[in-house]
Structure 1
Amino acid sequence: MAKLLEVENLHVSFHTYAGEVQAVRGVSFSIKEGEAVAIVGESGCGKSVTAKAIMRLLPPGITDIKEGDITFNSSNLLNLSEKKMQLYRGKEMSMIFQDPMTSLNPTMKIGDQIAEGLMKHNKISSKKADVQAVELLRMVGIPEPERRVRQYPHEFSGGMRQRAMIAIALACQPKLLLADEPTTALDVTIQAQILELLKELQQKLGTSLVLITHDLGVVAETCERVVVMYAGQVVETGKVEDIFNTPLHPYTQGLLKTIPRIDLDRKQTLEPIPGTPPDLLDPPKGCAFFARCPYAMKICQSETPELLEIENKQLARCWLHHPIAKRMYKES
């Protein structure tokens, strides 16, 4: 499969009264055509900022893309004008946000919000767009779509609003869909339904999916690869089965220990990761996970490890897997 999206050495900063917050620090990853990839990590690790940078939706004035490239279908999105970028959003790439109630326009009917993008990008009549809006609501599993298109967001339940958001995002059949914690505000049953719907539609339409979440547990059945982020950096990437079975970075290992498992003793408690993430107003010189890592070495405090390929295209940013460290362990 050919690469659809490639993010290289992305650096994004927020300018605050306290100083410059380095929210994203050298992030690199790629997405292939038709592939489903999860970006996981704690709140504040830079997942959503990375996604909004791809969509060019970062708030102007207070954010700054300091360095890097975002290549989509051979075009560097960071070099496009805002007018040209508007042709990409909705048509070539779309985004589903965390809270559909604040993302949907409360003054517009659901059908009109779906039809708006169809008319703009596909250049069709409002009558044709209305017919397609009904079909899109039916596709995402909303009952009585002919009646629902005439309703407002407040008349929909939380799960139905999220389905409507998915319908809007997929209306023009984009090549890339970014879903930013799409199940955060929903109960567990509805979460499972939305994730199953995203997986089904992604496979049916051949859309590349980037699922952003803080919960590793939700990606096992949905995605093929995982990108693990911590303190604005990618610390591990690999296939889902490799990340779950043989996590290489201590942070990924810690995340997995926080997930409840049915094959463990009922009395066994979950193990939280001790400590807190570093302050990105003044990022640490060495490994960002040093202060919380049970395997930290002296070099971890002063030198930042590279993202190295360990085996089977599984990469980890950790000195434990550096060739020098392995050699030292063998000699000792």
Structure 2
Amino acid sequence: MFFSWPFFFEVLIGGLLSGVMYSLVALGFVLIFKASGVFNFAQGAMVLFAALTLVGFINMGVPVPLAIVIAIIVMILLAYAVERAVLRPLVNQPPIILFMATIGITFFIDGFGQTLWGSDVYALDIGIPNQPLFFGDILVNSFDLVAAVVAGVLVAVLAVFFQKTRIGRALRAVADDHQAAMSVGIPLRVIWVIVWSVAGLVALVAGIMWGSKLGVQFSLALIALKALPVLILGGFTSIPGAIIGGLIIGAGEKLAEVFIGPFLAGAIEDWFAYMLAMLVLLFRPQGLFGEKIIERV
């Protein structure tokens, strides 16, 4: 294969920007795990449901800004319903019980979304530019640049929220020990509604980006599977790690597919992220930026 540096950097930048899209989904996982110690299997379904709600109201003739506001309200209501119907009865249950509950939430949201909006593929256009840009000999998609800026802003806001605000500190206390947090007056029910609402807003942002790029369809829920290697690499408790993990996965799989794939019959992009995640699990199970958990017995 003929090698040129402009082409190499074009593939690298394309991979980095694709990784940002993975990171938008991974952020939702990190939020709920960081604040409750629960792996939310339903995050992919929340991305799909948020995108379906937005495009559904837009197709009904609602202006885009108002449709976004309505979608935000719907995701907050969904968070309240999840807390009231599922999480509240399971306070102080083992994490595996809560994890299994999120699997049930996944199938409910999928079915409920299909009942409300149907199973067709919907185009989503809210005015995000999608023209190619040339930086010298390097081609970059303007849509991917917008996604990168949005992800950067989200990470900055969420990092400040968790580290500097009173609610953020309460969220981390709840994750450490539900019972202890309640004993010092932290309202567990309110905290869970807040964190699931924030995760719902992140899901809406991810749904807008992925829906604008691929169309709003039920396969969007499967992008959660691609976010798992990002989580393993960056760490389940690290918000910046979700972004850096996404960048590593995105760049690695694109470079491997283009420059190594021809020698291995291709399709490296389908499994590269999972093999990299397995290697990380072998040598650093908590991820590159995750907090090491020490259990005393």
Normalising by structure 2, we get a TM-score of 0.26
More helix per residue: 1 or 2?
Answer: 2
Structure with the greater alpha carbon radius of gyration:
1
The structure with higher relative contact order (CA 8 Å, sep 6+) is 2
Normalising by structure 1, we get a TM-score of 0.24
